Amino acid sequence: MTADRSPRADLPLETGAVRIRVETRYAEAHSNPSAWRYVFVYHVTIENVGHETVQLFWRHWRIHDLVAGDHEVTGEGVVGESPVLEPGDAHRYQSFCVLRGHSGHMEGFYHFRRTDGSVFRAEIPRFLLHAPPEAVGLYPT
């Protein structure tokens, strides 16, 4: 894992307060392997398994593309929202990633704020992005 260069990298890591799950799929209809364009849709579920209300306010993604290399994406909230999660609540959203290679992975973290103003980060587990075998053989000539 690369060093975190976020200005808030010193936030405490708490894995017990928030559970994050990610499911992915290859979006064949939006991909064009002959033009080095592989699109993956990912569905994220964020569950507050702690005892305090929290609000997601920042995201930091590390994206590895087999062809284009590594890059990072940071920003406020997720898909235009900063969800507030009461204990037991879950927030689900969908987004996508475009890679030049047929394979890669993503990982990162979210920043959360408690009602008392304290902040922490929760790791987004690494998830793989792999195009199916029939798409992999369609490289440009």
- The tens digit of pLDDT for each residue in 100-114 reads 999 999 999 999 999
Q: What percentage of residues in the chain have a pLDDT greater than 90?
A: 82
Whether 74 is in a domain gets the answer yes
101, part of any domain: yes
Beta strands in the chain (DSSP E): 18-26, 38-48, 54-65, 69-76, 84-85, 90-99, 103-114, 119-130
Residue 1 has pLDDT above 70, yes or no: no
Encoding tokens for residue 49?
């398994």
Tell me the CA distances in angstroms from 99 to 30, 39, 45, 85, one per residue in order.
12, 6, 22, 31
In a domain, 83, yes or no: yes
Domain contains 139: no
Q: What is the mean pLDDT of the chain?
A: 89
pLDDT per position as a tens digit, 41-74: 999 999 999 999 999 999 999 999 999 999 999 9
Q: What's the CATH code of the domain at 51?
A: 2.60.40.1470
Asked, for residue 13, whether it belongs to a domain, the answer is no
Q: Which of 78, 17, 81, 22 is nearest to 48 (CA)?
A: 17
Total of domains in the chain: 1
User: Is residue 9 in a domain?
Assistant: no
Q: Do β-strands 54-65 and 18-26 pair in parallel, antiparallel, or remain unpaired?
A: unpaired
Question: CA triplet 133, 127, 62: central angle to 5 degrees?
Answer: 115
pTM: 0.85
